[in-house]
Structure formats: structure tokens, C-alpha cells
Amino acid sequence: MQVTREWLDEVSDEQGLTRGQQQLLKIHLGEPPYVGRELNNYIAFFIGQCRGYRGIPQSLSGFLHRDVV
């Protein structure tokens, strides 16, 4: 598939592409810019489904910062 600005916006979240998505694009396409370049359909699907890890949800973060007695 051809990478478009619309596709990049679709697979990004409010903070942009995750580090994992950026790494996969770099592995398969080299350095940016990516728009207009061809990407394997399977890799494109994976990048679209793999939103990555942005951090611990607020509901769980308190558990990690408790003092253990």
C-alpha cells in the first residue's frame, strides 16, 4: 500500500506515532518522510493495529507508588 498522510493520521493517537510504530516504519521504509512510499500490506495492517504502550493508566499507577510496609 502507499503511505498517505491520512493513513498516518489514522494509525496515530493524540500524541502521534508510538515509538514502536516509528521503529517499524524506519525498518521497512528507512528515514522519514514516509508519505508516498510503498509499504507491505501486512506491515501496514500490523502498524494500524499496534497502537503501542503509552504508560500506565491512572487507575493502576497508584499501586506502583505505594510504600511497602
Q: How far apart are CA 58 and CA 17, in angstroms?
A: 21
Please state the domain extents for the chain: 5-64
| Other Cβ atoms within 10 Å of 53 Cβ, number | 9
Is the pLDDT score of 51 beyond 80?
A: no
pLDDT score at 4: 98
Nearest Cα to Cα of residue 1 among 31, 33, 38? 38
Average pLDDT of span 33-40:
96
Structural element, H or E, at residue 2: none
Is the pLDDT score of 8 beyond 90?
A: yes
